[in-house]
Amino acid sequence: MSAFDEWKKFDVASSSAHLWVFKKSTTDSQFRAWYVQTDQEVQALFKKLVIEQIASTTEQIVYGHLAQNNEASCLIHEIPDNANTKKLIAVLEKPEQANMAEKASQLQGAFGYCVKFKLNGEILYAIKKTSVSWKPKTRKSLANLVFKEKILSAEEEEVFSFASKFDFFIYKNSALIASKKSYETSVSEKTVYAQSFSQLSASPGFASLFTSVGPLTAYIGGNAMHLRRMAAVEQKGLFNDPNFLKKLRQVNASRKWGINFASNGKIVPCSNTARLIISVLLDHRLMSEITSITYDVPDATQVA
């Protein structure tokens, strides 16, 4: 059975629900987390929300640097051993009673919260990134809860607000992602992408394509989408083909794309052509065989 099917079949209604909040940390563990006691009404509410979200997710898409999902689908991938996601789970899987929140300040400013659903020795983690400032708000789609005497309960007084959907789930060794942006922010994937691009731009095989990688680096900057694109460039490795530059010069000339080349055959990047260069490195500048129109596409799936 696939990870997606196992997730769909998890019996949330029969499980026990345990709410945790977490904050990012500068320690090696990268996260701190506290268990928050809740009453049965709150637990039933969380179960209802997750059951509805799982039921409404009918499609799975393989997680990739540029992959995107819609409201009826989730991105899915097996979590690597060195991923920060493992560090988050490491603090969330600790015993509840030994890590109990004792004051409201431990909840305030939390980076996110997680509801652990336990059943027969297995755990489904449902995780949500909070807003920048986690404060009481009145929203139609939120469940309003109050923290009193170390227990979070559903009452008329409004203190903490929880969204009606979770950003991602962790089940066994797979991540099932509803919000890619929140997932990557929660587990610091942007930092990983930035480090990866820094290494790529310094590698001889990549840097030798250009007269200077400076203009390309300046264009990419800290933009999360550009950094993801460059991670996909490295993964595809089209530039490693010895004939890559020769083929690119030929097509660039015949199609009049406007990429500049030096007399030694290297690419001369600039702010005006940086986006096009990235599309070419991704093999995302494609021509329709029916209309002969050339398109820049956000992602591409090989069909033949």
Collapsing DSSP to helix, strand or coil, 220 comes out as: helix
Stretch 228-242: mean pLDDT, rounded?
90
* Residue 132 pLDDT greater than 70, yes or no: no
Stretch 67-93: mean pLDDT, rounded?
91
Prediction pTM value: 0.70
Round to whole Å and give the CA distance between 72 and 216. 36
Residue type, 275: R
* Residue 158 pLDDT greater than 50, yes or no: no
Flag the least confident range among 127-131, 217-221, 260-264, 273-277.
Answer: 127-131
Phi, psi of 12 (to 5 degrees): -60, -40
End-to-end CA distance of the chain: 27
Stretch 110-124: mean pLDDT, rounded?
95
Flag the least confident range among 73-77, 82-86, 114-118.
Answer: 82-86
* Residue 120 pLDDT greater than 70, yes or no: yes
- Tell me what pLDDT residue 104 has: 77
Q: What percent of the chain is predicted at pLDDT more than 70? A: 89
Round to whole Å and give the CA distance between 14 and 251. 60
Round to whole Å and give the CA distance between 250 and 258. 12
Q: Are 103 and 125 in contact (CB under 8 A)?
A: no
Measured in whole angstroms, the distance separating CA 112 from the mean position of its chain's CA atoms is: 14
* Residue 23 pLDDT greater than 70, yes or no: yes
